[in-house]
Amino acid sequence: MALKATIFKAELQIADMDRHYYHDHALTLAQHPSETDERMMVRLVAFALHADEALAFGKGLSTEDEPALWQKDLTGAIELWIEVGLPDEKEIRKACGRAKHVIIYSYGGRNADLWWEQNRDKLERAKNLTVINLPAATTQALAKLAQRTMQLQCTIQDGEIWLADQDDRIEVKLVTLKSSETLSR
């Protein structure tokens, strides 16, 4: 018998002063049995950073050819492809061919550093790719916010990102490893 996804509900209030985006989102996050709280919360942060009415979560870890999040235009063309973790370099190049913009949010401490060292040269050629790393301390703190029902506030101002619930407030630190030539967050 296959294990089923665990469903998390998040009421996410976003105040992104850098983009002038102020909106509340009622999100349903399906956590694949093999997905950690850390990865799920990185997906949620990625959603907050790029929030848009057309931004949607992909079907999950077990679905190939779909990212963690994506945004399509009205014709079905992929505007934004967001992947979380340490994806295969060939899959990233394939995504760069399918989408206007691709963003990778890597995490995992030393493993993320090794992944970037191994893939940097090949990925530097992709003009529409941005790679951002989240330090281990940040993602571990985010994982502690994970609850089946969450009420979160995300504030973004002058490049600083804060995610808070009723008890804790976490500064989300981002380290840009590669910037796209075609994308501004």
- Domain boundary assignment for the chain: 6-178
Question: What is the pTM assigned to this prediction?
Answer: 0.93
Phi, psi of 96 (to 5 degrees): -65, -30
Q: What is the pLDDT of residues 35-79, one digit of tens each?
A: 999 999 999 999 999 999 999 998 866 567 789 999 999 999 999
pLDDT of residue 16: 97
Q: What is the pLDDT of residues 91-114, one digit of tens each?
A: 999 999 999 999 999 999 999 999
In a 10 Å sphere around its CB, with 0-12 CB exposed, 13-18 middle and 19+ buried, how is residue 64 labelled?
A: exposed
pLDDT of residue 185: 46
pLDDT of residue 106: 97
pLDDT of residue 3: 77
Q: Is CATH 3.40.50.720 the classification given to domain 6-178?
A: no
